[in-house]
């Protein structure tokens, strides 16, 4: 490729709320540009992880190069498909940094959602050209004119700027591709020709080593170059360079403005790779590109291998996942009940669930995961501040001067007829009302409810367990939710310990608001009784706050019929057998260990308030 042809390159992302049709629109674009033949076409082409295809969501940003002839020129379109769920917003911000523009999709049947505001603001901060699109115009419940008006009112788009498409049927998609070429600017060619490549993703391949996804900001990258990962101070000679079409296609060079990959041959690196700069090893004085702002985890849980021999494999697997996911943090821990494991930080419950499933499926490590918790800020009497992200680390009440918990501002968009139920739900979760905004008015003629944006502030601990599911349930699936951290506020909390067979199981401990700890403890114990299997001896389950037992349930022993072979005869023989059984169970109760299933550690998620 002639290096002067960077003006024919367009780098763009597709961003939207979950289920608004990003991956389907990407599929239609691949079809129209003949990047994927109709024979090879399948739904969600760019979603490569099993968990993505199963859940119907995008988890990892994916890149693909398309060629499209327009106005007697052949354009190179580099599309980066991004996740829609709020837990993966860091993936969106990384993808946007490699682009000059973004397609903003809004569903014609649902309108603007809570997350639409945050994604558009992020794109505007990066100075991207936005191309507004209303999707699903063929759906029976679509009201595109109303949605278009709300987009004009909320974000200042002009009426003529908005594209109307059906990603399902392909209607309007070719017109959108042409609009991307007309509206999104080409990459800016820097004054110097020094190689600088921005790494926006990476993964490990057992044959080619670490593979970097990058956007060439300046200069030219060829297979003959000796390269350096600037921040990691790690040099390498590329085994292969190329682009995604959507599978990996080898090429001789990558030029200014192009998006592609490098197979480095490196087997391991400490730390996360996205945000690093690839430079020529002879240009060590070059000023590196500005990296990404680190994402701070908000949810913490512990992972333990169900087989102790898998500990090293779990450690190696976490290192490989951290390579392209800086928001996943972990540290080694030891539990009396579960042995050696890792305490991990995540961006949300879905992020935690996806990581757990990837560890179990891709890396084949069977796990036991503890219930999620948030990070508390503890001030002791000496004025020292400590951050606590697991119940085991929480000091005694006497050692704490004050405790603060993280708060969030939560935005929920929903039809007006669900407003009462949603406000009641927020009240149950200790939320404080902030504001209410009407996004679209009510249409009496067409029997369409007004769309409302509710804003509340609440403790993060109230949200992480099951609020997302409840928001969907209370609105029959019509509501959407987004949240932002707003700092710490003082909290009144206690640690609830669970004793199984009179032993504290540290992995079952919880941190709870003191005014709800007794009620929650009773429900927790009752739930554990259902989930822990019966043993050959009675198993007491107790909930305790400090030294005070607040609740107890007993799992009755399985009883073998030891008198089955006694046909008649003296009753003293039967009594003797029953006494021997009783003595054996007493010994077993003292010495026997109780197998606790994975479901028991997540029982807190199933407790109904």
**Which phi and psi (to 5°) does residue 103 adopt?**
-85, 125
The CATH homologous superfamily of the domain defined by 196-280: Translation factors (2.40.30.10)
Condensed to tens digits (0 to 9), the pLDDT of residues 153-212 reads: 888 899 989 999 999 999 999 999 999 999 999 988 777 788 888 888 888 888 888 888
Q: Which two tokens stand for residue 172?
A: 């309007």
Rg (CA), the chain: 28
CA 311 remoteness from chain centre: 24
Q: Which two tokens stand for residue 605?
A: 């998620």
CA 551 remoteness from chain centre: 35
Indicate the pTM of the whole model.
Answer: 0.73
Condensed to tens digits (0 to 9), the pLDDT of residues 47-72 reads: 445 544 444 444 455 788 999 999 99
| Alpha helix stretches (DSSP H) within 433-508 | 460-464, 467-474
Nearest of 481, 475, 486, 476 to residue 404 by alpha carbon: 486
SS3 582: helix
Q: Are strands 432-440 and 196-205 parallel, antiparallel or unpaired?
A: unpaired
CATH number, span 299-369 = 3.30.70.870
Condensed to tens digits (0 to 9), the pLDDT of residues 3-56 reads: 445 789 999 988 877 777 788 888 889 889 988 776 565 554 554 455 444 444
Q: What is the pLDDT of residue 47?
A: 47
- Work out the burial of residue 29: count CB atoms within 10 Å of its CB; fewer than 13 is exposed, 13-18 middle, 19 or more buried: buried
User: What value does the mean pLDDT take over residues 283-299?
Assistant: 73
For residues 599 and 199, give the distance between their C-alpha atoms in angstroms, rounded to a whole number. 39
Topology agreement, domain 299-369 and domain 400-490: yes
Please say whether the beta carbons of 46 and 62 come within 8 A: yes
Q: What is the 3-state secondary structure (H, E, C) of 315-381?
A: HHHHHHHHCCCCCCEEEEEEECCCEEEEEEEECCHHHHHHHHHHHHHCCCCCEEECCCECCEEEEEC
CATH topology of domain 400-490: Alpha-Beta Plaits (3.30.70)
Q: Are strands 196-205 and 248-250 parallel, antiparallel or unpaired?
A: unpaired
Q: Are strands 510-513 and 539-545 parallel, antiparallel or unpaired?
A: unpaired
Please say whether the beta carbons of 595 and 536 come within 8 A: no
Please say whether the beta carbons of 405 and 489 come within 8 A: yes
Q: Would you give the DSSP letter of residue 297? A: P
Alpha carbon distance, N-terminus to C-terminus of the chain? 63
Q: What is the pLDDT of residue 53?
A: 45
Q: Are strands 129-135 and 339-346 parallel, antiparallel or unpaired?
A: unpaired
**Is it the case that residue 413 has pLDDT exceeding 80?**
yes
Q: What is the pLDDT of residue 421?
A: 93
User: What value does the mean pLDDT take over residues 432-449?
Assistant: 83
Q: Are strands 339-346 and 277-280 parallel, antiparallel or unpaired?
A: unpaired
Please say whether the beta carbons of 134 and 108 come within 8 A: yes
Q: What is the pLDDT of residue 590?
A: 44
> What residues have CB less than 8 Å from 12, skipping those under 6 apart?
77, 78, 79, 80, 99, 100, 101, 102, 103, 131, 180, 184
SS3 556: coil
Reported residue count of the chain is: 609
Which residues share a beta bridge with 304?
A: 368
Q: How confident is the model at residue 92 (pLDDT cuts 50, 70, 90)?
A: low
For residues 524 and 540, give the distance between their C-alpha atoms in angstroms, rounded to a whole number. 14
Q: What is the pLDDT of residue 82?
A: 67
For residues 104 and 131, give the distance between their C-alpha atoms in angstroms, rounded to a whole number. 6
Q: What is the pLDDT of residue 397?
A: 83
Domain 496-606 maps to which CATH number in 3.40.50.9100, 3.30.300.30, 1.10.3210.10, 3.30.70.2570?
3.30.70.2570
Tokens 């943090």 correspond to 329
Tokens 């107790």 correspond to 542
**Is it the case that residue 589 has pLDDT exceeding 60?**
no
What does the DSSP assignment read for 103-141?
Answer: EEEEETTT-S-HHHHHHHHHHHHTTPEEEEEEE-TTSTT
What does pLDDT average to over the chain? 83
Cα distances (Å, whole numbers) of residue 437 to 154, 448, 452: 11, 17, 6
Please say whether the beta carbons of 493 and 388 come within 8 A: no
Residues 304, 308, 314, CA angle at the centre, nearest 5°? Answer: 55
Domain boundaries in the chain?
3-183, 196-280, 299-369, 400-490, 496-606
What does the DSSP assignment read for 33-55?
Answer: TTSS-TTT--TTTT--SHHHHHH
CATH topology of domain 3-183: Rossmann fold (3.40.50)
């Amino acid at each position: 490729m002639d290096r002067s042809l960077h003006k024919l390159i367009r780098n763009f992302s597709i961003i939207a709320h979950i289920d608004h049709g990003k991956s389907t629109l990407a599929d239609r674009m691949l079809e129209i540009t003949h990047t994927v033949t109709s024979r090879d076409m399948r739904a969600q082409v760019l979603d490569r992880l099993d968990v993505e295809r199963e859940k119907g969501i995008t988890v990892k940003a994916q890149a693909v190069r398309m060629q499209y002839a327009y106005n007697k020129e052949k354009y190179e379109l580099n599309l980066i498909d991004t996740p829609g769920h709020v837990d993966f917003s860091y993936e969106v911000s990384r993808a946007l940094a490699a682009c000059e523009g973004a397609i903003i999709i809004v569903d014609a049947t649902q309108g603007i959602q809570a997350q639409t505001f945050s994604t558009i603001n992020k794109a505007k901060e990066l100075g991207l050209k936005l191309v507004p699109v209303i999707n699903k115009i063929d759906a029976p419940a679509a009201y595109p004119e109303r949605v278009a008006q709300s987009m004009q009112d909320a974000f200042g788009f002009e009426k003529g700027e908005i594209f109307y498409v059906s990603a399902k049927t392909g209607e309007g998609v070719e017109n959108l591709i042409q609009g991307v070429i007309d509206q999104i600017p080409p990459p800016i060619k820097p004054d110097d020709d020094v190689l600088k490549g921005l790494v926006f993703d990476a993964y490990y391949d057992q044959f080619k080593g670490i593979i970097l996804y990058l956007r060439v900001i300046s200069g030219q990258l060829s297979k003959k170059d000796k390269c350096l990962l600037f921040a990691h101070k790690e040099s390498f000679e590329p085994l292969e360079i190329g682009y995604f079409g959507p599978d990996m296609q080898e090429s001789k060079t990558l030029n200014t403005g192009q998006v592609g990959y490098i197979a480095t041959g490196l087997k391991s690196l400490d730390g996360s790779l996205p945000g690093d700069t690839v430079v020529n090893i002879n240009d060590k004085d070059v000023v590196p590109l500005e990296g990404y702002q680190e994402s701070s985890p908000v949810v913490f849980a512990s992972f333990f291998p169900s087989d102790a021999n898998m500990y090293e494999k779990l450690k190696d697997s976490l290192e490989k996942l951290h390579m392209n996911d800086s928001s996943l943090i972990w540290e080694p821990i030891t539990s009396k009940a579960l042995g050696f494991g890792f305490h991990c930080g995540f961006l949300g419950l879905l992020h935690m669930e996806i990581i757990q499933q990837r560890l179990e499926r891709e890396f084949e490590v069977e796990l036991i995961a503890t219930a999620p918790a948030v990070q508390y800020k503890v001030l002791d009497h000496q004025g020292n501040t400590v951050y606590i992200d697991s119940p085991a680390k929480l000091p005694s009440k006497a050692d704490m001067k004050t405790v603060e918990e993280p708060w969030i501002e939560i935005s929920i968009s929903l039809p007006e007829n669900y407003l009462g139920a949603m406000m009641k739900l927020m009240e149950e979760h200790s939320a404080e009302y902030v504001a209410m905004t009407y996004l679209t008015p009510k249409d009496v003629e067409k029997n369409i409810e007004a769309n409302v944006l509710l804003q509340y502030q609440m403790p993060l601990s109230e949200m992480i367990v099951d609020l997302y599911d409840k928001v969907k349930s209370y609105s029959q699936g019509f509501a959407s939710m987004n949240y932002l951290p707003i700092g710490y506020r003082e909290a009144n909390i206690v640690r609830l310990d669970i004793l199984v067979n009179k032993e504290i199981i540290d992995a079952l401990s919880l941190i709870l608001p003191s005014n709800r700890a007794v009620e929650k403890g009773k429900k927790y114990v009752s739930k554990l009784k259902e989930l822990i299997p019966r043993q050959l001896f009675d198993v007491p389950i107790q909930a305790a706050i400090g030294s005070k037992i607040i609740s107890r349930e007993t799992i009755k022993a399985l009883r073998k019929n030891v008198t089955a072979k006694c046909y008649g005869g003296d009753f003293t023989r039967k009594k003797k057998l029953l006494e021997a059984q009783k003595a054996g169970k007493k010994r077993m109760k003292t010495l026997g260990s109780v197998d606790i299933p994975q479901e028991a550690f997540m029982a807190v998620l199933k407790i109904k308030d």
